[in-house]
Structures are given as C-alpha cells and as structure tokens.
Amino acid sequence: MKPARFDYVRAATLAEAHAALAEGGDDARIIAGGQSLVPMLSMRLARPAVLIDIMHLPALTKIGVKGDSIRVEAAVRQAELLAWPELRERQPLLAAALPWVGHAQTRSRGTVCGSVAHADPSAELPLTLLALKGAVELSSQKRRRHVAAEEFFTGLMSTARNDDELIEAVEFPCRAAGHGYAFTEFARRHGDFAIVACAAVASKDGARLAIGGVADIPTARDFAGIEGDALDDALDEFAGGLDARDDLHATAKYRRALVRRLGRATIEEARRCRA
C-alpha cells in the first residue's frame, strides 16, 4: 500500500498555508499529524494533488483558555492536550475521552484539530466537541469564521469546511458549575474504532447524550426533565431514530441496543459526577 503521487509544501507561516490552499482548491489537503490522513493516502481513498504540512507553523501550537472555552490550536497533538495540567479541572469530559483516541503511539503524533477535520463517525473528539456544544474556528485567505459543532459535521467524513479553509483551532467549553460529565465506549479491543461511543453531560435540568459510531455523524439529544422509565423510553426512541447500519463489526440492532444500555449508564455516571 503506497500513496499516489502528490506535491508537498511545508508551510512556514499561516499565510503560506492559506495561499497554498487557495491555489490548490479541492485537490489540496492539510496534513498535520497524519494519523488519519496517511492511511487514507496509502489505501488511496484520498488522492490529493498537494499536501500542505502545518506542523512547522510556530503560530498554531497553543492550548489556552479563551472566555469559557479551552482553545486548542491546529498543531497541538492529542498527547499534548492529554498532558495539559489544567485539562481535568477545566473539562473532565475531554480528559475522559482522550485516552480512548487511538493508542499512545498514535496520540503522540495525531492532532486534536486533525481528528475533528477528518470527522470519522466513530471518533471520540468530534463526539466530545458535539456533546459540549463546542465550535470550530476556520480561516482562509479571505476570512475567519466560527462554526458550531452542531453545524460542522455534515456527513460521513464531511464537514462544513470550505476547500480554501483550514481549522485553525477548536473550542471546547469548560466545565460548568453543577454539571457532571461521563464518557464510555464499546469496542472489541482497546484503541479500536468504537462500535458505540457515548458522551453525557448532566445538569440539574436533565441530560445531554451524544452518540458516536452509529450514524454517519455524531448525534446528540437533550433529555430535559426525564427520569426513570420515561428516560428509557426516550432513549429507545433516540436509538430507533439513529441511522444505524450493519457492518463487519456489529449489526444495526446490536448498535441500537448498546445506545440504550450504554447511553443510560453513561447518563447515570454523569449524574453521579455532578458534585
């Protein structure tokens, strides 16, 4: 398995990256850590004419708090965010989800923004971003804009990013007072793609549950003021409405059953963490 031919540009500045993207159009791809893109290249599922490497831009390497959100820039590796001393305090859901992303040997290179850009339906970081109602900061030569996670993921590995835009940062809202958070996932082996992944946020008014690995995009539902059997019924209805499919790893029916059971368990755990 070898990639098809492409040109390679190692951008030294953000302006250079924007210019190369504007020139390359939909034949250009940004490469950051490459942990999702390089397999796509090797399997020739992606055949860009030019790759633009943004890992040498000194400008995009920061993790910081901006307003009420954690802002993670494009060149921040998953392992760097996991090792950020403020992570657990600032956002326990992100701290709980990150160890599920690939393996230590891929988190060392893979970036947070790259996982969001790749938008794999079973990936943990897009799911977490959606559960928290985070946002994606896109920039191009012409403009800069923020897109809410709920509008960013548009289909299987498809996003609202335009061809001339790159993800400059993603913003995960910090923990809110009185909220509890939990993350669970089921896969055959640790580090495999999730068969079902659940991220839950509990508040005094109810719970929000986001599900990955089932439909083409991560999907979230708010369950306000529902408890007990009514919550089970609501979860049944949510699971039934997801566009689940049979594949090599699990049937659609099995995935829906996992959404009901694991989803409920994750919500309960988030409630327990509401202290």
* Of the candidates 133, 132, 263, 240, the residue with the CA atom closest to the CA atom of residue 186: 263
Q: Which of 109, 112, 102, 64 is nearest to 84 (CA)?
A: 64
10 binds other proteins (CB under 8 A): yes
Among 21, 28, 30, 31, binds other proteins (CB under 8 A): 31
Q: Which lies closer to other proteins via its Cβ, residue 78 or residue 140? A: 78
The CA–CA distances, whole Å, from 164 to 21, 40, 115, 265 equal 5, 20, 18, 42
For tokens 């409630």, the residue is 271
Task: Give the binding-site size for other proteins (rule: CB under 8 A).
Answer: 37
Q: Tell me: does residue 15 bind other proteins (CB under 8 A).
A: no
Residue type, 26: D
CA distance 206 to 30: 39
Q: Cα separation of 214 and 247, whole Å?
A: 10
Supply the minimum distance, in Å, between the C-beta of residue 273 and other proteins: 22
Element (H, E) at 261: helix 252-272
- 2 versus 204: smaller Cβ distance to other proteins: 2
Residues 40-69 that bind other proteins (CB under 8 A): 41-43, 49-51, 53, 55
* Contact set for other proteins, span 90-119 (CB under 8 A): 99, 102-106, 108-109
- Reading the block at residue 196, the tokens are 């079902």
**Residue number, 53 or 150, with CB nearest to other proteins:** 53
Contacts (CB under 8 A) with other proteins, residues 174-203: 189-191
Cβ proximity to other proteins, 48 vs 218, nearer residue = 48
Judged by beta carbon, residue 186 or residue 260, the one nearer other proteins is 186
Place of tokens 């996982």: 115
Q: Provide φ and ψ at 13, rounded to 5°.
A: -140, 160
Largest pairwise CA distance in the chain: 57
CB of 40 or CB of 252, closer to other proteins: 40
Residue 83 binds other proteins (CB under 8 A)? no
Q: Which residues bind other proteins (CB under 8 A)?
A: 1-10, 12, 20, 31, 34-35, 38-39, 41-43, 49-51, 53, 55, 79, 99, 102-106, 108-109, 189-191
